[in-house]
Structure 1
Amino acid sequence: MIQPAIIDIEASGFGKGSYPIEVGLYLPDGRAYCTLIAPEPAWSHWDESAEKVHGIRRELLFDKGRRVRDVCHELNEKLRGQYVYCDAWAYDYVWLSKLFDAAEQVPLFQLKDIRDLLGECEQKLWHATRAAVELRLQLRRHRASSDARMLFETLLEARKHCTPD
């Protein structure tokens, strides 16, 4: 059974004008990757309610964020030729496109919805399994790499309960 690479993106907001501010990966071998993204000059939208969710101040992005070109290069190096799964495809696709467009690069991997990996059993167990995984992992921050790991662990746990012995 496929052990997928998982990606999560935190953003400046949820609507028009929002842009990626952090990207995180959790890979099948247990490695994680996470980086803040420095806003491009035209990226000015900031939603206070989104900041309350992810806890990232905009000033931190200017101080610690990496250039879009460098982030895209690293993502392509780590994910080249793979399917990479997320739980909010409609949002993540837009933010990933915005990131790669700003860097004038193309992703060398394909973004897919994690629901594509779920059978009927996993779909039914998803929310309860995720709640149990959240309790077990006790990840304190709502950040991109933590969220990617949570998705990965939830998928594995749901599969365990749905795979016949």
Structure 2
Amino acid sequence: MTLPTLLDIEASGFGRGSYPIEVGLARPDGSSCAFLILPLPEWTHWDPKAELLHGISRARLHREGHPVRQVARWLNDELDELGIAYSDSWGYDNTWLSLLFHHAGMLPAFRLEALRKLLSEEQLVLWHATREALVAEMGIRRHRASEDARLLQLTYQRTRELVDDV
């Protein structure tokens, strides 16, 4: 089974003024990677509740974050050949991805689609319980971009196998 490429974005918060702070990928071969994003000077929105979830501080972003243009270039390099990545939070992730590419002065060389498009009704029924079982089994740390992307990919794989075994 070929695994889909999953993309996940952590952000400064939700809603107006929020921006991407970390982008992660789970590749078709099961490997994953992520980049912290250095906030632009005009990106000032910060929700302490979001920081509690992802555990990434503004200070860490300023220390370890990569420039917006570098992250956009990396995404294009990673995804150009595949042409597509999937997200479980398409509405948010697509907005933040668009913001990232807009401020980088670039166009994405791929499109982001909703993960739901790949899932059968049977997979949807199994999704939540399967994801929680994987978190417990593997000790996955939630709300970091590469870990969340990989968890989505593993959940996709396991629900597909469960459906195919029936």
For the criterion TM > 0.5, the same-fold answer is yes
Question: 2:49 matched to which residue of 1?
Answer: 49
List per-residue Cα deviations over 1:62-115 (Å, max 9, x = no partner).
111000000000100000142100110000010000000000001101101110
Question: 1:24 matched to which residue of 2?
Answer: 24
Q: 5 Å matches for 1:1-165?
A: 2-81=2-81, 82-164=83-165
Q: 1 CA distance for matches of 2:109 and 2:33? A: 17
Structure 1 stretches of 4+ with a deviation exceeding 3 A read none
Return 27-36 or 50-59, whichever deviates more: 27-36
Q: 2 CA distance for matches of 1:55 and 1:21? A: 11
**CA shift for structure 1 position 2:** 4.6
Once the two structures are aligned, what percentage of the paired residues are identical?
49
**CA shift for structure 1 position 20:** 0.1
Q: 2 CA distance for matches of 1:152 and 1:113? A: 13
**CA shift for structure 1 position 141:** 4.8
Q: CA RMSD in A?
A: 1.2
**CA shift for structure 1 position 164:** 4.2
Q: 1 CA distance for matches of 2:94 and 2:142? A: 23
Give the SS at the match of 1:158. Answer: helix
Q: 2 CA distance for matches of 1:124 and 1:141? A: 21
Give the SS at the match of 1:163. Answer: helix
**CA shift for structure 1 position 33:** 1.4
Give the SS at the match of 1:35. Answer: strand
Q: 1 CA distance for matches of 2:84 and 2:39? A: 26
Residue segments in structure 1 that go unaligned for 5+ positions in a row: none
Q: Normalising by structure 2, what TM-score?
A: 0.96
Residue segments in structure 2 that go unaligned for 5+ positions in a row: none
**CA shift for structure 1 position 140:** 2.8
Q: 2 CA distance for matches of 1:119 and 1:140? A: 27
List per-residue Cα deviations over 1:4-33 (Å, max 9, x = no partner).
100000000011000000000010112211
Return 4-13 or 132-141, whichever deviates more: 132-141
Q: Normalising by structure 1, what TM-score?
A: 0.96
Length, aligned pairs only: 165
List per-residue Cα deviations over 1:17-59 (Å, max 9, x = no partner).
0000000001011221111000011100000000000000011
